Every structure is written in C-alpha cells, then in structure tokens.
Amino acid sequence: MRLTRYFLPVLRENPAEAQIASHRLMLRAGMIRQASAGIYSWLPLGYRVLQRIQQIVHEEQQRAGHIPLLMPTLQPADLWQESGRYNAYGPEMLRIRDRHERDMLYGPTNEEMITDIFRSAVGSYKDLPLTLYHIQWKFRDEVRPRFGVMRGREFLMKDGYNFDLTKEDALHAYNRHLVSYLRTYERMGLKAIPMRADGGPIGGDYTHEFLVLAETGESEVFYDSEITDLTFGDRTIDYDDVAQCQAVLEEFTSRYARTDETHDEAVFAEVPEARRRSARGIEVGQIFYFGTKYSDAMNAVVVNEQGERVPVHMGSHGIGVSRLVGALIEANHDEKGIIWPEGVTPFHCGIVNLKQGDEAADGACDALYAGLKAKGLDPLYDDRNERAGAKFATMDLIGLPWRITVGPRGLKNGVVELTSRRTGESEEMPPEAAIERVAQIYAGI
C-alpha cells in the first residue's frame, strides 16, 4: 500500500478522552473512531489488525478440530426465556422490539442459540463430539464502557461451544480449548496466563481465564512467578490425544494463578514468598465447562449407545478478539507509539523514502515495494512529500516492526537501511538483501 493512496488519519495531539496507552495510540494511529460510547468504527489500519487476529483464531480453532459457522447478532427473546436467562441477564442486555412487537435482543453471547441449532439437528451419540464456533459481534450495555476497545459495548468475540456425550469427553474438549488458546495467544506474540476463575452468570465448575499482565488491566491477579517462564513453543499437538492435552493443562495450571474472585490467601501462602506475585491483568479469554445446564433447560438430548435419551455435556469458550487489539498494544508500545509483534502487524514492513521525487530514491523504493510484494509480503510505502522526521514519526506511531529507509546518500553506496522498531537497531545492506531478510523474518510466522 502506498501511503498517499491509503486512509490513515493520524492525530498529532493526544486525545483528551483516552486514559490508557492503547486507547490513546489507537486513536492517534487512526485505527478506530468512536461512533458512540463503547461503539467504534474500525478504520483501515485497525481493521487490518482485527483481521490478522481473526485469521489466527480461525486457524488455531480449526487446527483443534473446531468447526466455524456464523450465527446472527440479533436473537429472538424466546430462546432466552427457555433457558431462564432473559430475566436473569439484566440491563447489560440490549432488548429490541421488531415491527411485529416481537421481543428480540442483540446477543451478548450465544449459548441458547447454539443449543437450539444443536437440538434441531443432532439426536445420536454418533454425531458427537462436536465443537462449533463463530467470530461475531456482541453487545453488552456495560455500565462503564471505557479504555476504547478494551471495554466496549459492541465488541468482537470468538465464542465456541462443545457438545459431548459424557463429562469426561467434555473435559477433553475443555483441555483442547486450553491448549489451542495457549497456541493462539503465543502466535500473536502475547503471554496470556490461564488462571483459575469464577463461573459468574454463565455458571460452571471448571473455568479458566486467560490474562495478559498489564498495569492497566481491570482484574487483580495472584500467581507464582514460575508460571511466567512457561512457553508453549512450537510443540506438535494431537488434539485427539486425551492424555497429551491433559498433560498440557496440568503443566500450565498446576502452579498458583488465580483472579481475585477465587484467590485464597491460605493456599497462596504455600508458594515460596520470593515467587509470590500480585499484579493486574487484562482478561483476553475464558473457557468453561458447565455440564448440562443448557441441555437440561432446553432439552438438548441425544440417544446413547444403550438407547437412553441423555442431555449433552457442554462448555463455552471465548476469546476477546477486539479487546486483544488493545491488550496487544498495552503489552507492546513505547513513548513513540505501538510496536506490533510480527504475528499481528497490519503491514509487514514500512518503506520510507527520504527524498521523494529523487529519481534514484523513487526507483529504489518502487523496486523494494515490488520485491516485497513478490515475496507475499504487504509493505506500507510512505511516498508522501514530507520531511524525513515526519515520516519516521508516523512509522514509529503505527508501529510496523520493520522499516526500510531509502535515501540518495545510501543508494550511492548501494545500500538501504533496515531498522527494527523494537530495538531501534539499524543495519545497512543492499536492497535485495533487505527484502531477503524481511522475507526470512516472516517465513516462520
């Protein structure tokens, strides 16, 4: 993309309404624009990141054997009356009436609708196990929408639902989700720690929240510092292997890590003092096993091998897709702007032309642009007629992890400069070598 043809409305000033770095930087970098409280338009740069995140979530869900579908945002109230949650949910639910006076709502989550889909089509244990998921907008009329996309009213969530014959099978589905989430967050360059959590209004005995440690996080968390040393890495997982998934769950959940809702001072005191930490965290996902809560209420049954009709065991599993954009920035920024991890960056590499209109510089930039494209990469070429300082400031603000700087002086010696946004280190090399280097960086991502 050439910047002169793009839509990147960056702000010079710090917006007064933004209290935390991610909100401020998303507004300044022209990623979002508030439509009304807690409701945002995703401008082209922000939309690109949102899409990258969705792509990773889709790939990892499908790797785990989960099946995508798409349910609507608007739901009929009667499904929620069946489960008993229509009245229980309270003012967070946006209730709507259509022209026929039918009660509708903008879905805050989808347990009822997916259970209805399931019961309409599945009647036998032979069709299990089954996990369906979608990535869809949700609406929760939060009392205090704040921090930009971190606590929106309209927000994008991946929510998945498993249907299993037995509790044992459903717990395998739970473990499978935990493993796939570990992989998902790591691919985005995030450390998200599974912590024992509270079931809340969805209910359930088994639940973990995934938290990204950050001072601006809304949750208070307590953990054994050893847990921050764990990484999932590029291990190969067979998602059908019950023992392997269980082993990963044990590895990542055996140390103390809890949110304040489940925190227990007595148990925490057993952790050696030097390793006890309390901090703040951003909840970027949660997994639940809740048994037959919805299948009992909504009569979602299958016939088992013995010919008996039994309610299915279910769980639901969410990832805060739009909140992740904010969480990623909270975890990756400096005073100059955002620093995208390679896995989610909106463009792979920036090209800065120090002397627009100079024949050699323009030609070299065009060649770099074409060369990067030919490698399947998406560069953002700053081809504006602007001072170098302004171009650097924009690149630093929007946070592309790599920048190639092209100027007449370097070109005389046959070199351009490749700079890492994270370390600030630069290296001179011929343009072809810079293309090669950037391609290599992204080869494993």
Tokens linked to 417? 């400069």
Q: Which residues from 97-116 bind ligand ATP, rule CB under 6 A? A: 109
Does the protein bind ligand ATP through residue 318 (CB under 6 A)? yes
Shortest Å, Cβ 445 to ligand ATP? 23
Shortest Å, Cβ 102 to ligand ATP? 26
Shortest Å, Cβ 398 to ligand ATP? 22
Question: Would you say 152 or 401 has its CB closer to ligand ATP?
Answer: 152
Question: Would you say 15 or 199 has its CB closer to ligand ATP?
Answer: 199
C-alpha–C-alpha distance, residues 174 and 286, integer Å:
11
Up-side HSE of residue 237: CA atoms within 13 Å toward CB?
A: 28
Tokens linked to 156? 């994008």
The correct pick among 286, 332, 394, 419 for binding ligand ATP (CB under 6 A) is 286
Question: Would you say 263 or 437 has its CB closer to Mg ion?
Answer: 263
> How far lies 205's CA from each of 182, 200, 289, 290, 297, in Å?
21, 10, 7, 6, 18
The residue number whose beta carbon is nearest to ligand ATP equals 320
Tokens linked to 373? 């494209």
Shortest Å, Cβ 130 to Mg ion? 23
Does the protein bind Mg ion through residue 109 (CB under 5 A)? no
Q: For the window 269-308, what string marks contact with Mg ion as x by the rule CB under 5 A? A: -----------------x----------------------
Q: For the window 322-341, what string marks contact with ligand ATP as x by the rule CB under 6 A? A: xx------------------
Partner from Mg ion, ligand ATP, none binding residue 320, C-beta < 5-8 Å depending on class: ligand ATP
Partner from Mg ion, ligand ATP, none binding residue 285, C-beta < 5-8 Å depending on class: ligand ATP
C-alpha–C-alpha distance, residues 265 and 79, integer Å:
41
Does the protein bind Mg ion through residue 316 (CB under 5 A)? no
Range 41-47 contact pairs with CB under 8 angstroms and sequence separation of 24 or more: 43/7, 43/8, 43/9, 44/6, 44/7, 44/8, 45/8, 45/346, 45/398, 46/325
Shortest Å, Cβ 201 to ligand ATP? 8
Shortest Å, Cβ 33 to ligand ATP? 17
Question: Would you say 142 or 436 has its CB closer to ligand ATP?
Answer: 142
Question: Would you say 286 or 405 has its CB closer to Mg ion?
Answer: 286
Q: Interior CA angle at 115 toward 323 and 71, to 5°?
A: 50
Question: Would you say 203 or 414 has its CB closer to ligand ATP?
Answer: 203
C-alpha–C-alpha distance, residues 281 and 178, integer Å:
18
Angle, helix 167-187 to helix 242-253, in steps of 10 degrees: 60
With 0-12 / 13-18 / 19 or more C-beta atoms within 10 angstroms meaning exposed / middle / buried, residue 418 is buried
Nearest alpha carbon to residue 330 among 179, 195, 209, 218: 218
C-alpha–C-alpha distance, residues 175 and 244, integer Å:
9
Partner from Mg ion, ligand ATP, none binding residue 284, C-beta < 5-8 Å depending on class: ligand ATP
Angle, helix 44-63 to helix 167-187, in steps of 10 degrees: 140
Where residue 147 falls (left for φ over 0; alpha for ψ -120 to 50; beta otherwise) is left
**Residue 305: phi, psi to the nearest 5?**
-60, -30
C-alpha–C-alpha distance, residues 249 and 194, integer Å:
9
Shortest Å, Cβ 71 to Mg ion? 19
Shortest Å, Cβ 116 to Mg ion? 23
Q: Which residues from 114-173 bind ligand ATP, rule CB under 6 A? A: 140, 142, 151-152, 155, 157
Q: Which residues from 266-285 bind ligand ATP, rule CB under 6 A? A: 283-285
Region from 72-80, 122-130, 163-171, 315-323 binding ligand ATP, contact rule CB under 6 A:
315-323
Interface contacts to ligand ATP, rule CB under 6 A: 109, 140, 142, 151-152, 155, 157, 283-286, 318, 320, 322-323
